[in-house]
Chain A
Amino acid sequence: MPKGFIGKVRLGARLMQYDDPKFWRAGAISTTVVMAIALGMLTVDSLEAITPGGSHVPPYSVINRHIGYVYNGRLGRDMPVIGADEPLFGKPVTETEAAAFMERGKLVIQSRSCINCHTFMGNGAYYAPDLTKAWLDPAWDTWMAITGADTKEEAMVRFLMAPEQYATWLRKMPNLGISRDEAVATVAYLKWLSSIDTNGFPIHFGRPQTSR
């Protein structure tokens, strides 16, 4: 056998020293670097899509409009649909005023720790209903009657300010000392939230599948 051939085998063996931890270390470092770079690139793209006004998240002033939720046959899932003017409490707001509502609303959501009973986009605790599409919940029609309110937003505000008075189920929401201003900001927040395209989550919202 020619010497060179043996040399090549030896060379091959030298490159593939599986029992040397350094071989696996090189693998660990390169895999991690490649994946981290991929995540970085995807992050840049995703953040653009979820900035208000981006492809998946409407601007905050969407609270001036009607928000619907319609099944899209082509995509096979429900999608938010922005409709005609329908300002909260009949009062249109500017983009800046809407942003102020969001800032306040998010502070209320965090300071009352909503996510430790409820979920948003499925994240949180699981003791109380998911709030992603709460604005679109058909139950508010009944709650308008219960709270004696003329509009959905007013019913939501009254409920948030005194939830213990309107308990209709075994599990009650405690009174969290939410002021009227705070409740209004929270309702604005929930309305904006319902306009986000969440790829069809939660499934079949408002369309029970029991009778077809």
Chain B
Amino acid sequence: MSRSKNLAVKYLVAAILFFGVMTLSGLMSAAYYIQPDFLFGLIPFSIAKMLHIDTMIIWLLMGFMGAVYWFLPDEFEIEPAGIWAAEILFWVFVSAVLVVAATFVLVQWGAGTETTLWLVQQGRKYVEAPRWAAIGVALVMLVFAWNVVGTALRARRFTGIMAVMSVNMVPLVLLYLIAFPKIDNMAVDLYWWWWLVHLWVEATWEILIGCIMALAVMKLLGTSRKIVEGWLYVEVSMVLGTGILGLGHHYFWIGTPDYWLGIGGFFSALEPLPLLGMVVHAVYDAGVHRMKTTNRPAFYWTLAEAFGNFLGGGVFGFMITLPQLNLFAHGTQWTVSHGHFAFWGAYACGVLSVCYIALQEQRRLAVVNGRGWVWAFVLLNGGLIGMVGSLLVAGMAQTFFERAIGGSTLEAFIAGQENPWFVLGMYSRMFFGLIFTAGYLTLAWNLLALGHREAAAVAQPAPAE
């Protein structure tokens, strides 16, 4: 295997490990809602929650990078430019994440000084990592961009997919710089912070995963490059055509003028369109190929990606995106319900699909199948959908009792959180969280064991089938 593919496997393994940390810290966060004294005084809710959302970003990012390093040599038929730097930075990246996680758990917070922001944490959602670590992430992104663009230049061949990916590297790196400044005015702070969060997650990440899924579909189903590239451009125009001004749905309530209510409402209502397009395409492809593939798990995770992105990002996002409803639902467990479904559908399923694609080639398996992946698939998706449903019930109760009739104060907040439907939602979320965890463990075991058991079976005389 090429150096790039070896690096890809390392990144995918690291992604799956941090996926585990995310799951564990998610369970911890859920436990506080049921038992507020859980670990209180040792690890407060905030730390568990911070680990949960930050490791989510990290494992998905590592998954994307693994996917790109996996497909790069296939696209260009040469080793990526600067692969040596990427190999070193992998270990730097992993150790930095571990040091930051340890800092979060052991140091937790610091005095209100710039030093705290440099060494302990920055206290801005998703980009809590202290500045020293953020510089590291920026460096990793920069080298990642160099690997992609530099390889295309060296190979003197820009395929459409790689051209889109290369151009996309520019905003991916530039927007991350918003992770650094400390802005006193919270309205301005949130204005720019949403450029990072929305334009990363709902624009550049969507395009990156679009490129990755395009490569995956070509590999899995042998779809022609011309069709895939045509679709990718349609996807890009729709994602950016709706997503750039769809940013407006975050500018409803942060102090910005009220024209954002109309602009954000309109464009974000259109945001599900590209996601619907993906579903149509996936169903069409599946039909054309009569669901026949040598890699069923990868294929099913690709389908889950298409449907999950549309349902979680598109439908669940649309539910709360119109300002008239968002005024009530914003910042409740309803948002959490959408968040879980969207990240899972839009990104996690895609990364898992690539894991199985890489595994097939790495372990030289003619066919990837068996019962293990089915269990993982059912438990993970079932657990996730259960959590999303539970949070939706809790969120609707909170929206009604805290906001619509309660008056949104501290007293109204408490009344909402103690409402029996809310409490039921929290218990039910915990239950499905445990099912999801069982799914994670099955997945991890399946990814580890898959090839080896089959190899053992091949060594024995094949039974008549």
Contact = CB atoms under 8 A, between A and B. Distances in A.
Interface of A: 19-21, 24-25, 27-28, 31-32, 35-36, 38-39, 42-43, 45-47, 49-52, 55-57, 99, 102-104, 106-117, 119-130, 132-134, 137-139, 169-172, 174, 176-177, 179, 182, 185, 193, 196-210
A116 B46 contact: yes
A144 to B, nearest CB: 14
Nearest to B243: A35
B116 A111 contact: yes
Interface stretch (B61-69, B331-339, B353-361, B448-456): B331-339
B226 A123 contact: no
Contacts of A36: 244
Residue among A121, A182, A202 with most chain B CB within 10 A = A202
Contact of A123 (B109, B120, B125): B125
B186 A19 contact: no
22 contacts: A20-B230, A31-B241, A32-B240, A32-B241, A39-B244, A39-B245, A39-B247, A46-B256, A46-B257, A47-B191, A50-B254, A51-B188, A107-B117, A110-B112, A123-B190, A124-B331, A125-B45, A125-B49, A125-B125, A138-B409, A174-B41, A202-B331
A136 to B, nearest CB: 9
A106 B111 CA distance: 12
Contact of B407 (A31, A185, A209): A209
Given A116-B45, A182-B111, 11 more contacts: A32-B240, A46-B191, A56-B255, A110-B182, A111-B116, A121-B187, A121-B190, A122-B253, A126-B335, A204-B404, A209-B407
A56 B188 CA distance: 12
B436 interface: no
A50 B188 contact: yes
A126 B331 contact: yes
Contact of B255 (A121, A129, A171, A177): A121
Contacts of B122: 110
Contacts of A198: 253-255
Contact of B46 (A113, A132, A197): A113
A180 to B, nearest CB: 12
B237 A24 contact: yes
Given A115-B124, A127-B33, A196 B403 contact: no
Contact of A21 (B230, B260, B327): B230
A96 to B, nearest CB: 13
B125 A124 contact: yes
Q: Which 8 A-B pairs have the closest CB atoms?
A: A122-B331, A110-B123, A24-B233, A201-B253, A116-B46, A202-B408, A35-B244, A108-B112
B405 A208 contact: yes
Contact of A32 (B46, B237, B255, B410): B237
B128 A113 contact: yes
Interface of B: 32-33, 36, 40-41, 44-47, 49-50, 109-114, 116-117, 120-125, 128, 160, 182-191, 226, 229-230, 233-234, 236-237, 240-241, 244-245, 247, 251-261, 263, 327-328, 330-333, 335-336, 403-414, 417
B223 to A, nearest CB: 13
A99 B184 contact: yes
Contacts of B237: 24, 27-28, 31-32
Contacts, number: 251
Contacts of B121: 111, 113
A121 B186 contact: yes
Given A36-B244, A42-B263, A112-B123, A204 B255 contact: no
Nearest to A46: B256
Contacts of B124: 110, 115
B191 A203 contact: no
A69 B333 CA distance: 26
Given A111-B111, A130-B413, A171 B241 contact: no
B33 to A, nearest CB: 7
Given A125-B49, A126-B331, A201-B253, A35 B111 contact: no
B244 A196 contact: no
A174 B41 CA distance: 7
Contact of A106 (B36, B184, B417): B184
A92 to B, nearest CB: 20
A209 B405 contact: yes
A157 B120 CA distance: 24
Contacts of A185: 112
A197 B44 CA distance: 32
B251 A46 contact: yes
A27 B232 CA distance: 12
Contacts of A134: 410
Contacts of B255: 49-50, 56-57, 121, 196-198
Contacts of A52: 185
B29 to A, nearest CB: 8
Nearest to A129: B413
